[in-house]
Structure 1
Amino acid sequence: MGVRVLGPRDLSAARAVIARDPVVNVFVDSLVQTSGLDPRRGAEVWGYVEKGVLEALCHAGGNMVPVGAGEAALRAFAAYALRRGRNCFQILGPARAVEVLWEALEPHWGPAREVRDDQPFMVIDGPPVITPDPLVRAVEPVELPILYPACVAMYTEEVGVPPQTGPDGTFYRSRVAELIRTGRAFARIEDGKVVFKAEIGSVGTGVCQIQGVWVDPERRGEGLAAPGMAAVVELARQLTPVVTLYVNAFNTPARAAYERVGFRTVETFATILF
């Protein structure tokens, strides 16, 4: 019984834990599929083992994300994290799991820069129920200089600080370029300027997750978000039949737009930001 760092030999058991709820676990599913649980190819994934059986996971990189964890596993992950030290910039996941982790970690890692404890986790598993914006399309690689400023603006507005770009300022830009290259960045571009955009940040088993939804502040209130999201859903469903996202409860315009498209809330997430 206890917590240990998982490796490639644990991949089958780890994916079985993820498969208990592939929709909610899409973010970690995507990362595990990419890394194969090799820490050299990504962040560590910790496993909670009970009576020789892998019962729960915790992705432990820039994002700390519990998967399938009950209270015993969560407290074990918190104790392990305290021994290892904080290297994440946020803790996120189902709200109750994040709450238990933070109860144990806050006396040592707090205070948080911000606690967002009510983030509806939304799903759509059919076509959008409104007409998509025909001008929303996949971004071309040559359009990176057009898309990148919009991504920085979205990140800064959403997270409250500029993206972590690294000493040479290339990490975040490389991530945006990768999303474009893999056909997972979408935008409506007018006169060389992004007026609406969104990306598919994670692709799991039959499920993907939209991130980075943004409308140019000068164009807000024009009704661009809902048709734009309908177009992104249509494009995303060419990859997977189920599309997810999560949003801050206080962002009522965004929630209303997603609901117009046909998204429904199935879970509540929470995020602790450092």
Structure 2
Amino acid sequence: MRTAPSLRPLERSDRDAVLELCAADGTANVMVAERIEQVGGDPARMGGHLWGLFERGRLTSACWAGANLIPVQVRGDAALDAFASRARRSGGSYSSLFGEADAVLGMWRRLEQAGWWAREVRASQPLYATSSPSRAVEPDPLVHRAGPDDLAVVLPASVAMFTEEVGYSPIGSDGGTSYRRRVAELLRQGRTFVRRDVDGSIVFKADLGAVGGGVAQVHGVWVAPRHRGTGLAAPAMAAVVAQTLQREAPVVSLYVNDFNERALATYRRVGFERVGTFATVLF
């Protein structure tokens, strides 16, 4: 008799199984891999929950539920049904559902049928990766890692990036305290790259939003409006890739909206190759 799949919260003892699951597609699962590597799978320190689906005693898929929902290797109707049902029962409030497109859109169809509402569904976001410095673009020597002392100038650029990308300001009911904390933490870790103008203002910014499982994923790429179309982005991104490969991970990845033709052209020129498709549902 075939044993029915079972879903349960993952524990510290599941750490190795989760990391093995993430490694099946490291570029897609870097966000969850980083979290598990940081806290060792300890539920008390994760800042969210990680649900796992087991078949015949083996972990076959998972879903992170914190500020966001992130499916990990979720395949097939049974897994999609299980995680969508668990999300509905959780009573949680999520900012987004994102990750590998088939899993995200499959979960979203079930959640939408249950009455969930989304501000926007970005159904096709090409996922890119590279494991070598750009051969076609010389890195911009003025791009460097910002530090904690740069918070005052980096924060406005980060807020501008977030507002453009998501559609609302991250300065919420807490006056921006939580977002400021996140920006400051990236600066403390040396994971924010910037290029300054002659007046000291930021004209380019990119963050390593996640580093785990041998992959560093670039988030929050932003070019100041007055410098867009000037050819600044490709050399700046080439510098980010070169420095990240040297220090953080052997693979650099990112994902981008399929309608952002300028960004797509820049990333391809720098040497990124498409390795998959993400989707994001914004709540």
TM-score (norm 1): 0.96
Question: Corresponding residue for 1:81?
Answer: 87
Could you tell me whether the CA contact under 8 Å between 2:118 and 2:282 is conserved in 1?
yes
Does residue 154 of structure 1 match 2:158?
no
Matches within 5 A, 1:1-274: 1-41=5-45, 42-71=47-76, 72-129=78-135, 130-163=137-170, 165=172, 167-190=174-197, 191-238=199-246, 239-274=248-283
1:164 Cα deviation after fit:
5.7
SS in 2 for 1:237: helix
Structure 2 residues without counterparts, runs of 5 or longer: none
Alignment partners' CA distance in 2, 1:52 and 1:202: 30
1:69 Cα deviation after fit:
1.3
Which amino acid is 2:97 matched to? I
Alignment partners' CA distance in 1, 2:193 and 2:9: 36
147-156 or 190-199, which deviates more? 190-199
1:88 Cα deviation after fit:
1.2
SS in 1 for 2:114: helix
Alignment partners' CA distance in 2, 1:178 and 1:69: 31
1:147 Cα deviation after fit:
0.4
1:218 Cα deviation after fit:
1.3
Could you tell me whether the CA contact under 8 Å between 2:34 and 2:210 is conserved in 1?
yes
Alignment partners' CA distance in 1, 2:169 and 2:175: 15
Could you tell me whether the CA contact under 8 Å between 2:95 and 2:282 is conserved in 1?
yes
Structure 1 residues without counterparts, runs of 5 or longer: none
Alignment partners' CA distance in 2, 1:223 and 1:251: 16
1:25 Cα deviation after fit:
1.1
Could you tell me whether the CA contact under 8 Å between 1:66 and 1:74 is conserved in 2?
no
109-118 or 238-247, which deviates more? 109-118
108-117 or 60-69, which deviates more? 108-117
CA offsets 1:207-266 (integer angstroms, 9 cap, x no match): 110010000011111111111100000111121110000000000001101111000111
Alignment partners' CA distance in 2, 1:224 and 1:204: 28
Identity of aligned residues (%): 49
Alignment partners' CA distance in 2, 1:60 and 1:267: 22
CA offsets 1:45-80 (integer angstroms, 9 cap, x no match): 100011222111101111111111112212101111
Which amino acid is 1:18 matched to? C
Alignment partners' CA distance in 2, 1:162 and 1:109: 26
1:150 Cα deviation after fit:
0.2
Pick closer, same or farther for the CA change 1:227–1:82 going to 2, 3 Å. Answer: same
Number of aligned pairs?
A: 274
1:110 Cα deviation after fit:
2.9
Could you tell me whether the CA contact under 8 Å between 1:226 and 1:260 is conserved in 2?
yes
CA RMSD after TM alignment: 1.3
1:35 Cα deviation after fit:
2.5
